[in-house]
Structure 1
Amino acid sequence: MNYISKQNIKVNGPITLPTKKKIYTILRSPHVHKKSREQFKWFIHKRVFMVYNVKSNCLKQIDLPSGVKLEQKKC
């Protein structure tokens, strides 16, 4: 956010979107004990930032941590 504040860009956000939850169930034993299972949960959190008055090459210079995606949409 330091880069954005230096460039005099207007930002609204973060706006939180609903969290998606995926549950995976795996058998603990491959042959017997079908009732013995293990569950794993995967949560996907999404946030939206509305950015105004920005040049397209300006967003390419922002360093994002791993797992963070940047999508550009024109309104």
Structure 2
Amino acid sequence: MNYISKNNIKVNGPIHLPTKKKIYTILRSPHVHKKSREQFKLYTNNILLVVYNVNNVKYNFLKKIYIPSCVKLEITKIC
């Protein structure tokens, strides 16, 4: 946070977006027991973080931040 406060960068968030849920149903036994099923759930959580007042030179600070491999980062420039 020190880098953000020194360079007059404004941050809005984190904003929690709705969680998406997918349910997969699989048969436990492929032959006789058709009523025996197992369900698996996959939850996807989205969090939005909006960063303001960032010049092209200052985009490099995003590359220095540790981001886990499971996190997707999108950078969009709004004029």
* TM-score of the superposed pair, with normalisation by structure 1: 0.85
Aligned identity (percent) is 68
The 2-side partners of 1:66 and 1:60 are apart by 13
Deviation at 1:70, TM superposition (A): 1.0
Flag as ranges the 4+ runs of structure 1 deviating above 6 A. Answer: none
The 1-side partners of 2:19 and 2:42 are apart by 10
- Bigger helix fraction: 2
Deviation at 1:10, TM superposition (A): 1.8
Q: Given the alignment, which residue of 63, 66, 78 partners 1:63?
A: 66
* TM-score of the superposed pair, with normalisation by structure 2: 0.81
Cα deviation digits, residues 28-57 of structure 1 (max 9, x gap): 012111100000000100000011223221
RMSD: 1.1
User: Which consecutive residues of structure 1, in runs of 5 or more, have no partner in the other structure?
Assistant: none
